[in-house]
């Protein structure tokens, strides 16, 4: 089983070792800076949350699925089929960051002042 529901609001991805917030309800439409702050103060299961890298977000994508592009039978709730911020800044333009579109798993970039969803993660880089 890839995802282990820890029954405390978090899910461990046994493939990557990353720990993801299980319920994303209310974590939508934030600027990049607001997303970073939301993760920093999130107290679920002891805290230590951050905005994932684009590579970490893409590790969740299942391109055979649509709306959302997540593995069948995943344990997450409140997931929007919308864009999710990554912590990865677009190198040529520091005011822009990469984001993943969970409708289909696509990747694009957007100005950090735009309103996008956030999916807190722990562990990894």
pLDDT digit of tens for each residue in the chain (125 aa)?
899 999 999 999 999 999 999 999 999 999 999 999 999 999 999 999 999 999 999 999 999 999 999 999 999 999 999 999 999 999 999 999 999 999 999 999 999 999 999 999 999 65
Residues with Cβ within 8 Å of 99's Cβ and at least 6 positions away in sequence, in order, are: 54, 83, 84, 85, 86, 107, 108, 109, 110, 116
- Residue 92 pLDDT: 93
- Name which of 53, 75, 74, 71 is nearest 61 in CA terms: 71
Say how far apart CA 76 and CA 57 lie, in whole Å: 14
What domains can be seen in the chain, in order of their start residue?
3-122 (3.10.100)
Say how far apart CA 19 and CA 4 lie, in whole Å: 9
Give yes or no for a contact between 97 and 85, defined as CB atoms under 8 angstroms apart. yes
Residue count of the chain: 125
């Amino acid at each position: 089983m890839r995802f282990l529901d820890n029954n405390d609001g978090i899910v461990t991805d046994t493939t990557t070792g990353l720990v993801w917030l299980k319920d994303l309800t209310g974590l939508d439409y934030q600027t990049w800076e607001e997303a970073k702050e939301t993760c920093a103060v999130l107290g679920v299961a002891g805290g230590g949350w951050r905005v994932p890298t684009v590579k970490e977000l893409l590790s969740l994508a299942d391109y055979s699925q649509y709306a959302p592009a997540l593995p069948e039978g995943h344990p997450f709730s409140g997931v929007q089929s919308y864009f999710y911020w990554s912590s990865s800044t677009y190198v040529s333009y520091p005011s822009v960051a990469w984001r993943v579109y969970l409708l289909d798993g696509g990747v694009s970039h957007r100005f950090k002042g735009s309103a996008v969803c956030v999916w807190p993660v722990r562990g990894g880089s």
